[in-house]
């Protein structure tokens, strides 16, 4: 597909039961957008019929177009393609929490454990957005990691309102049709999806928060975070014990109430981790791969030396020498640009930025390049190494481009906040920290 309405299509981003989402370009101004096209599965069309699907799709677009809240995705154009199928246009956002925590279709497998400060940052925004939705009589009914987008500014935006209950009007099908995602759906929604209220969304949000903190789904197990991590005291256990009650009358009764309780939670002192063994001051530096590769997901773990959650299998014991413009790591023989770029860049702009560093001869070096995933991951284990790299005043998020590619449209990046490598579209915005090899 090369065109949807007046929008030039770059590629398809994904497909669900109701429609397909594409990455497109606004003509003349070349702005990248996301386009959702009504493209239902044959099974769904047989069950509901084409006319009913059009009504649901249009209803979703109208609902999203009415939003004026920073943590919700909005629709800003609606039209029909040459075949008469409706579509609507949204902001293009690169990240979603599903990819960031490493949740796959094998949902029962462990996901990445996310630091409590980051969970609190995202959790507050999610609960604020649910408070807004419920105040406006909108029940989302499908809160899950993949429906929580994360912008370049590290703010969340809830998307996908195809299942939403708006003013008592909602997507409906046969009585036995599941609404929402089973592992995140509240017990009452599984029994009566048309009769739920905002407390169903709050249950789903609690499952999401618990998964981020533990890497697991709560299921029937204990919610005792305090037994496994000294960061969490009994108040965290009590929070989840309330938020995950099966009976809605026993849970938090509103998003505002749940947010107030969430904001009261405090963190204790972190326990000592395994840390990095005391590094030797002598010996040959560790040789990390420096040549770029173009590698798919199935082969990346071998190239990047990462585990199934795409985190490094073994730490690097950095030995850092810090100057005004550079940081030299004697453990790897690499010299790093200390400050990096001031603002996030597309992949092409990141390459141009590094070329300009070589033209300038930053700190006397003219061999600057984008680092490989392996080189970036070498900075993760040592907390001290993170502190010597000042954050951009406009962009505190540490998401960095690597030189490694994933096909024609995507490249690998390293999320320094969450400690993993992943894939992003080359039009996404990430920071650059250039590197050079100084020890032969």
Where in the chain are the domains?
3-91, 95-264, 297-437
Q: Is the pLDDT of residue 167 over 60?
A: yes
How many Cβ atoms from other residues are within 10 Å of residue 46's Cβ? 10
pLDDT band for position 159 (cuts 50, 70, 90): very high
251 with 202: CB under 8 angstroms?
yes
- Per-residue pLDDT reduced to its tens digit, 386-436: 455 655 444 455 899 999 999 998 999 999 988 999 999 999 999 999 999
Q: Is the pLDDT of residue 383 over 60?
A: no
Q: Which tops the pLDDT comparison, 440 or 276?
A: 276
Architecture in CATH for domain 3-91: 2-Layer Sandwich (3.30)
* SS3 state at 367: coil
pLDDT band for position 105 (cuts 50, 70, 90): confident
pLDDT band for position 48 (cuts 50, 70, 90): confident
Q: Is the pLDDT of residue 350 over 70?
A: yes
Q: Identical fold at 3-91 and 297-437?
A: no
pLDDT of residue 146: 94
Sign of the alpha-carbon dihedral angle for 292, 293, 296, 302: negative
pLDDT band for position 269 (cuts 50, 70, 90): low
The average pLDDT across 84-102 equals 94
Q: How far apart are alpha carbons 405 and 425 in whole angstroms? A: 10
- Note the CATH number of domain 297-437: 3.10.100
195 with 129: CB under 8 angstroms?
no
The structure's pTM equals 0.89
Task: Assign domain 95-264 to a CATH class.
Answer: mainly alpha
pLDDT band for position 286 (cuts 50, 70, 90): confident
């Amino acid at each position: 597909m090369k065109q949807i309405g007046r929008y030039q299509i770059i590629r398809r981003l994904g497909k669900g039961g109701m429609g397909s989402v594409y990455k497109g370009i606004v003509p003349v101004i070349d702005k990248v957008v996301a386009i959702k096209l009504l493209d239902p599965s044959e099974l769904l069309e047989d069950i509901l019929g084409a006319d009913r699907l059009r009504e649901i799709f249009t209803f979703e677009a109208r609902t999203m177009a009415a939003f004026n809240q920073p943590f919700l995705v909005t629709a800003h154009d609606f039209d029909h393609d040459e075949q008469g199928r409706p579509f609507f246009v949204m902001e293009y956002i690169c990240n979603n929490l599903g990819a960031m925590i490493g949740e796959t279709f094998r949902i029962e497998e462990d996901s990445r454990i996310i630091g409590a400060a980051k969970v609190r940052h995202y959790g507050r925004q999610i609960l604020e957005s649910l408070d807004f939705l419920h105040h406006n009589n909108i029940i989302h009914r499908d809160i899950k990691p993949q429906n929580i987008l994360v912008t370049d500014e590290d703010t969340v935006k809830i998307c996908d309102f195809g299942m939403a209950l708006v003013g008592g009007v909602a997507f409906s099908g046969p009585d036995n049709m599941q609404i929402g995602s089973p592992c995140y759906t509240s017990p009452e929604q599984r029994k009566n999806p048309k009769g739920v209220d905002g407390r169903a969304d709050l249950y789903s949000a609690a499952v999401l928060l618990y998964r981020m903190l533990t890497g697991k789904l709560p299921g029937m197990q204990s919610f005792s975070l305090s037994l496994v991590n000294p960061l969490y005291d009994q108040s965290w256990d009590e929070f989840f014990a309330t938020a995950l009650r099966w009976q809605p009358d026993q849970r938090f009764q509103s998003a505002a109430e749940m947010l107030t309780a969430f904001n009261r939670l405090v963190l204790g002192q972190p326990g000592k981790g395994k840390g990095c063994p005391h590094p030797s001051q002598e010996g040959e530096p560790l040789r990390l791969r420096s040549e770029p590769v173009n590698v798919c997901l199935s082969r990346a773990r071998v190239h990047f030396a990462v585990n199934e959650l795409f985190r490094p299998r073994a730490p690097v014991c950095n030995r850092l020498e810090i100057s005004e413009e550079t940081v030299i790591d004697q453990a790897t023989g690499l010299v790093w640009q200390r400050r990096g770029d001031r603002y996030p860049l597309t992949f092409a702009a990141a390459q141009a930025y590094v070329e300009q560093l070589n033209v300038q001869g930053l700190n006397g070096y003219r061999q600057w390049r984008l680092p490989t995933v392996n080189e970036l991951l070498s900075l993760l284990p040592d907390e001290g190494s993170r502190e010597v790299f000042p954050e951009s005043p406009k962009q505190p998020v540490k998401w960095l481009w690597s030189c490694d590619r994933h096909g024609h449209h995507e490249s690998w990046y390293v999320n320094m906040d969450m400690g993993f490598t992943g894939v992003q579209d080359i039009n996404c915005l990430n920071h650059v920290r250039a590197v050079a090899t100084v020890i032969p």
